[in-house]
Amino acid sequence: MKTETLVGVTLLLAALLSVGAYQAGVGISGVGVAGNQTAAPSTGTPVAASAGGPVLFAANCAGCHGAQAQGGVGPKLAGLAKNWTAPEFAHAVLDGQAPEGRALAETMPRFKTAGFDGVPPTDEQVSAILTFLKKL
């Protein structure tokens, strides 16, 4: 199986699982149905800390932003990431703040506290996701 196909299938599966969990009321990465910020629920299959951008995006972002960042519950990210600096992107992901200072929607997890699988993301993980998005 080609690498692109494998990545696409992985992203699709992660998106379907995330949407299904959200609709079931579990929430995504610590955001409950009412938007409460809590510890991220365990999926039983934690993402390795060394996982690359596509896997991290699939596990933590694709459920809302789409498997190819085309948008869904959350806004489209594909194409927009080319304009973001690393600090701007990190501030949005970690703190829920857009570059111009406005707060992002309550449904956007504040990953600094919600974490990836309950563990705060590393700078390397956030950078890997941004690198992935810039290639879309």
Q: Which two tokens stand for residue 130?
A: 């941004």
Total count of domains within the chain? 1
pLDDT single digits (tens) 44-92: 345 555 689 999 999 999 999 999 999 999 999 999 889 999 999 999 9
Q: Which domain holds residue 47?
A: 3-134
What value does the mean pLDDT take over residues 86-112? 94
CATH number at residue 32: 1.10.760.10
> The pTM is what?
0.65
Which residues are within 8 A (CB) of 25 and not within 5 positions of it... i.e. 6 or more apart?
Answer: 32, 33
Break the chain down into helix, strand, coil percent, rounded to 5: 45, 5, 50
Average pLDDT of the chain to the nearest whole number: 76
Please say whether the beta carbons of 58 and 47 come within 8 A. no
* CA–CA dist 38, 75 (Å, integer): 22
